[in-house]
Structure 1
Amino acid sequence: MNTTNPMNEKTGLLLFAHGARDPAWARPFEAVLAQIASQRPELVVRLAFLEFMSPGLEEAARELVSSGCRRIDVMPLFLGASGHVRRDVPPLVEALRQQHGPAVRWQLHTAIGEHPAVIEAMAGATLDWLNTAAPTVKPS
């Protein structure tokens, strides 16, 4: 079964993270990829990085297109609308549009960190830590 949109196009998901020189940095993003893949096995999903790590955006996009995806959602795995998200990512996605032509539709989404569920999850994790691990601070 393919994930399709209302136009019956095979849909892919491209998770796009910054990247770092330390390979351990990618583990949380790989975990996100694994959870999505396990919960939506019909979805073609790839993880790509802006710099320092592989695959890059073009390589992951090429894999999605080669697998038959005709609509590709690009989800920036950034905590906020940083300079990369505002200035660098839109031209990169536009280059993919130009490269692959009108046969593939690209949808760039807002940074994941701006999603209410992510904000709620970060606040919840912090509150859990405060409630279980943080020492009580007494006023002076």
Structure 2
Amino acid sequence: MARNVQITFDCADPAALSAFWAEVLGYRLPDPPGGFESWDRALDAMGVPPERRNDASAVVDPEGAGPRLFFQKVPEGKSAKNRVHLDVRAAPGLDGVARMSALEAEAGRLVALGATRVARHEPAPPLGAGHIVLTDPEDNEFCLD
């Protein structure tokens, strides 16, 4: 039986990191629970004090196809390279110069949103199609593939 997957990020600022990834992936914040017109109203009803409202955040694929991303506040900072990372498929079906041009265009957009460019890996056929490594605003590595 197939399972739904949620990808969880430990972070310092869940609201900011969820906003970044929503822009990267074309995701959105989930709707507030039924019967509430906003998350603030729902959190008020749940008794969550204002100073705790950035303890967690999430974003979802508006089409319902991709995994939910969940962001949880943790006290410690990132201390090592990710063992798991996201590959953002920005150039499917393209190769060579066209692929790398599409990846560069997307890298420029993401850097403007707060990503940091780390490295460009040139195509190396037959197995290496080329990709760009970036980090999100909290230094989590991801690839444009």
TM-score (norm 2): 0.29
Structure with the bigger percentage of helix: 1
TM-score (norm 1): 0.29
